[in-house]
Structure 1
Amino acid sequence: MFAFDNSYARLPDRFYTRMNPTPVESPGWVALNEGLARDLGLDPEALRGAIDVFAGNRVPEGADPLAQLYAGHQFGGWSPQLGDGRAILLGEHVHEGRRFDLQLKGSGPTPYSRMGDGRSALGPVIREYAVSEAMHALRLPTTRALAAVTTGEEVLRQEGSVPGGVLTRVASSHIRVGTFQVFAAREDVEGLRALLDYAIARHAPEAEGPMDLLRHVMAKQASLVARWMGLGFVHGVMNTDNMTISGETIDYGPCAFMEAYHPDTVFSSIDQFGRYAWSKQPDIALWNLAQLATALLPLMGERKAAVAEATEVLEGFRDLYAEAWTEVMAAKIGVDDMELAMQLLDIMREGQADFTNTFRALATAPDTARDQFVNATRFDSWYTEWQSGDPDRAAMLRANPAVIPRNHRVEEAIAAAYRGDHAPFHALNAALADPWRETEANAPYRQPATEAERVTRTFCGT
């Protein structure tokens, strides 16, 4: 079924704990991502007959299941041991020379569960499946969802007893900033060196040492975060254990997309001080990269010189990000004029304009864009100046989607799934799969929430 070659499992034993998923009572299908299955060279029909694998009830041939060890800064506070508390890496499927991690999320307790049950409620499974696949359709680097199943069991969460689920996540790897941090904190230079060599071989074969890897990750993250910002995406939990070396978006717990634009937008219920607000994401990316640099210092010889070199590398982030952000905004308004773009964002903030629909209207029907504003007076003068720049509408259409995973639609799908009705989830996925066209079918998914539908708080899955 799978073509496993499990290179991470060949690293030293202290990198992980070998263990099987915990079986569930009565698994049932929510979704199988047939398109992704084909992209991985897998037979969807065979996969559909293997629900016991996706539920964690059977370990497929060639797998070498394990829970990965890592540490991290969570909301700025250091946690010396985290790890896969509710996930098991089945192994690495290899297709056409590329390596893909297959991980079960919600697959039972591990030594890293920190008193948790190791399970997932069905809601977070629905959210991650829908949003990660939407991000893929929006052309952003992301982990993906291969399958979602129910467990036939209930889990106890803040909202009460709710149905459980398991998500099969596909990733280029699950190596995080926090993976480096755990070995640095333990002064395990041998382990740190092994991880560096492995990460370079897997993700940056052109890199020649720790600072080259840092430059590689920094470039990937600068581009990724700029593209998040261009979609109004708020990750919600940018801890160092949620920043990948591969440059893929990972962990869709309390994430959300803005509707009415405001730079200080926060959704996560646990982000009480706005650390991970939309506008702060570039600064947090740099902060996380500084933690990666710190973890790499023991591999760089004399400390004072190493700190100086790492600092010099990190100082290049702002230029990388500014270049990426300028490119994103030039495409969104069709004019390479960053001052004009920033003026528009300020007018949108003041006019409470919908982020996605404002840019989309400019690309498709510019005369209607003013309808997005509570007060369009400032927009009218901006519009005149913008039109004089002869905007590139083709570029704008490529940069401004019609459909995003709006919070109320995701919550609608979750609520229905808790009642045993997966139809809203499948309808949502169908709309999100083709975000660049406006169709009659996706019209309801293009509309912002009404006051009664508005979702202002999102929650982690634990």
Structure 2
Amino acid sequence: MFPEFSLRYARLPERFYLRFAPVPVPEPRLVAFNRPLAETLGFDLDAFDESRAAQWFSGNCVPEGAEPLAQAYAGHQFGHFNPRLGDGRAVLLGEVVDREGRLRELQLKGAGMTPFSRGADGRAPLGAVLREYLVSEAMHRLGVPTTRALAAVTTGERLFRRVPEPGAVLTRVAASHLRVGTFQYFAARDDLEAVTTLADMAIERHYPELQGPAPAGHQEGERYLALLEAVAERQAALVAQWMGLGFIHGVMNTDNCAISGETIDYGPCAFMEAYDPATVFSSIDEGGRYAYRNQPWIAQWNLARLAETLLPLFDDDQESAIAKATRVIEAYAPRYEDEWLAVFRNKLGLTREEEGDRALAEAFLEAMAAGRADFTLAFRGLAEAVEEDAPALLDLFDGDTSLRAWLPRWRARLAREEASPAEIAARIRAVNPLYIPRNHQVERVIAAAAEHDDFVPFEALREVLSEPFTAQPGREAYAEPAPAGERVLRTFCGT
């Protein structure tokens, strides 16, 4: 059933990983399987057998051709450097080439205690697995670069986190699992050969336009500087997309910053409802380091840590290398601001560029903050307010004075778009989702699955989130913010 593995990471020197076989589980059961993704990856679905798949996706049976391993990496966690983290509960099976010719890694998350587990049990609770499955697939449908969820398997075990939960294993698909922390692991050991190997791998896999000999008159180090620039560009675009969705990653440590530019590691993540730029959900982010408003600048901080690992590749002269890296890191800020403005122009229904557009977008956000308006529904509601005030939009605001003052400014700007009201409304609906993985809904499906072994609510929510921009009659409740008694104020990691 599995496509052929290529095992490129497993062919690196063994200091890059530790070979590790998944720890068997007592009663594996397949509870979710992403058939469209499996088809894209080249799985033979005609030979699909659910019980056999449960054995594979739990780690009880290693697919033919796979060579399981736990990757080595380090990382800054909430600003504090840990020189040895690594896959503490994840196992990389290997890489496959999908039907579009792209290399994709398959990883089992929750596959048991590895040599990197640092005393933890190496397992994943069902709630964390279902959350990552739902949110990562929703992000994909929302057009955000992300890792994907291929399968979820329950294990027949009980785990103890805040409360007892069923155990589970997630099969995650990524362009790669190279992280800023992967580079940090080897830089901390002064292993320049390994850092160079990683940089070359990142270029080959994610930035092939940078391959080839250096042009005449150019130093070899410019290729690696260009790699840093390319990673920074992707991070700027990625975080701008997060901001445009009210998404809060929750744990932007350097080991959760992917070189590919994908969103990775959906731990205590959440989508904001009432707009407040200081919003924090993660229970472990006591200081608000990774609050919504801080995400762009934490990404820049993470990029600076990547730059530090690459300095010897930029230039033999350290001062010159630092100067070159600094220019790239400083260029991130205007790049991000441009990406942010492009995202919010689209959300407001604008296609032309005018100087006052940033102030217009910021004024709407200020009105939302003053009115405690739901982030997702407020932007979606603009489609009904292109020509006249929409009661449904006004009702989202606790006091609509600021909104009423803003709407005429916005409509005056729309008048210069040279598009009909219907065209503008369609634009707004095309980029502003109606359905997101609202925290209370995710908690509901987790509770049904974990407490009652009922996966019908999970499948229903997954189906709704597969069409986030399209109104689905009879499913209006999925678009509604949490009732007062179900508001989720804290989210938790699955470790």
For the criterion TM > 0.5, the same-fold answer is yes
Q: How does 1:428-447 map to 2 (within 5 A)?
A: 428-447=461-480
Which of 338, 357, 363 is the matching residue for 2:358? Answer: 338
Report Cα offsets for 1:252-296 as digits up to 9, x if no partner.
000000000000000000000100000000000000000000011
Which of 124, 129, 135 is the matching residue for 2:133? Answer: 129
Counterpart residue type for residue 189 of structure 2: R
Which of 164, 168, 173 is the matching residue for 1:170? Answer: 173
Alignment correspondent of 2:276 = 262
Matched, 1:295 2:295: no
CA contact (8 A) 1:403 1:442 kept: no
CA contact (8 A) 2:126 2:166 kept: yes
Counterpart residue type for residue 270 of structure 2: A
CA contact (8 A) 2:141 2:468 kept: yes
> RMSD over aligned Cα, in angstroms?
1.2
CA contact (8 A) 2:147 2:173 kept: yes
In structure 1, distance between residues paired with 2:494 and 2:136: 15
**SS class of match (1:162):** strand
In structure 1, distance between residues paired with 2:475 and 2:105: 32
Q: Percent identity?
A: 56
Note the C-alpha offset of 1:206.
2.1
Matched, 1:371 2:395: yes
In structure 1, distance between residues paired with 2:140 and 2:228: 25
Alignment correspondent of 1:349 = 369
Alignment correspondent of 1:21 = 22
Alignment correspondent of 1:70 = 73
In structure 2, distance between residues paired with 1:365 and 1:430: 29
Alignment correspondent of 1:107 = 111
Alignment correspondent of 1:154 = 158
Alignment correspondent of 2:420 = none
Which of 399, 419, 443 is the matching residue for 2:431? Answer: 399
Note the C-alpha offset of 1:435.
0.3
Alignment correspondent of 2:87 = 84
CA contact (8 A) 1:105 1:169 kept: yes
Q: How does 1:188-337 map to 2 (within 5 A)?
A: 188-207=191-210, 209-300=223-314, 301-335=316-350, 336=353, 337=357
In structure 2, distance between residues paired with 1:459 and 1:44: 35
Counterpart residue type for residue 485 of structure 2: A
Note the C-alpha offset of 1:364.
4.0
Alignment correspondent of 2:216 = none
**SS class of match (2:3):** coil
Matched, 1:413 2:445: yes
In structure 2, distance between residues paired with 1:373 and 1:43: 51
**Which ranges of structure 1 fall in alignment gaps of 5 or more residues?**
none
CA contact (8 A) 1:431 1:441 kept: no
In structure 1, distance between residues paired with 2:411 and 2:481: 26
Note the C-alpha offset of 1:310.
0.3
CA contact (8 A) 2:3 2:41 kept: no
Note the C-alpha offset of 1:65.
0.8
Note the C-alpha offset of 1:217.
0.4
In structure 1, distance between residues paired with 2:317 and 2:19: 36
In structure 1, distance between residues paired with 2:47 and 2:252: 37
Alignment correspondent of 1:455 = 488
In structure 1, distance between residues paired with 2:248 and 2:444: 19
**SS class of match (1:372):** coil
Matched, 1:120 2:124: yes
In structure 2, distance between residues paired with 1:397 and 1:439: 13
Alignment correspondent of 2:43 = 42
Alpha carbons of structure 1 residues 441 and 103: separation in structure 2 relative to 1, 3 Å: farther
In structure 1, distance between residues paired with 2:344 and 2:201: 36
CA contact (8 A) 1:29 1:149 kept: yes
Counterpart residue type for residue 98 of structure 1: R
Counterpart residue type for residue 382 of structure 1: W
In structure 2, distance between residues paired with 1:428 and 1:306: 50
Alpha carbons of structure 1 residues 30 and 262: separation in structure 2 relative to 1, 3 Å: same
**SS class of match (1:50):** helix
Report Cα offsets for 1:125-145 as digits up to 9, x if no partner.
000000000000101100000
- Please give the TM-score of this superposition, normalised by the length of structure 2: 0.91
CA contact (8 A) 1:64 1:90 kept: yes
Alignment correspondent of 2:214 = none
- Please give the TM-score of this superposition, normalised by the length of structure 1: 0.98
Of residues 171-180 and 363-372 in structure 1, the stretch that sits farther from structure 2 once superposed is: 363-372
Alignment correspondent of 1:380 = 404
In structure 1, distance between residues paired with 2:64 and 2:273: 45
Which of 382, 401, 404 is the matching residue for 1:362? Answer: 382
CA contact (8 A) 2:124 2:167 kept: yes
In structure 1, distance between residues paired with 2:116 and 2:443: 29
Note the C-alpha offset of 1:441.
3.6
Note the C-alpha offset of 1:235.
0.3
**Which ranges of structure 2 fall in alignment gaps of 5 or more residues?**
211-221, 418-423
